[in-house]
Structure 1
Amino acid sequence: MIVPGSESQALGAALAAETGEPLAAVRYERFPDGERMASVEVPADADRAVVVAATTTDAAHVELLQLQDAVREAGVEEVVTVLPYMGYGRQERAFEPGQPVSARAVARAISTGTDRVVLVDPHEASVTDCFDVPCDVVRAASRLATPLPGGLTDPLFLSPDAGAVSLAESVRDAYGRGAVDYFDKVRHSGTEVEITPGDAAVEGRDVVVVDDIVATGTTMSESIAVLDDRAAAAVYVACVHPLLARAARTKLERAGVEAIYATDTIERDVTAVSVAPALADAL
Structure 2
Amino acid sequence: MHAQSNAPQARFELKVFACEVLRDELMFIAANVPHHLDIDFLPQGYHQEPRQGRLELQSRIDCVGEGYDYILVGYGLCGCLLEGLVARQIPLVIPRAHDCLTLFLGSKERYLRMFEDNPGTYYFTRGWLRAIDQGLADRTGTDLSMCDLPQQGAPVGLEIDRRHLEGLDEEQRRYLEEELRRWMQIYTRGVLIEFDQFVCVGLRERVRQLCESRGWKFECVKGDLGLLQRWLSGSWTEQEFLIVPPGHKVVADFEGNVIKAVPQ
The reply to whether TM is greater than 0.5 is no
Name the structure with the higher helix share: 2
Structure with higher Rg: it is 1
**If the length of structure 1 is used for normalisation, what is the TM-score?**
0.33
Higher relative contact order (CA 8 A, sep 6+): 2
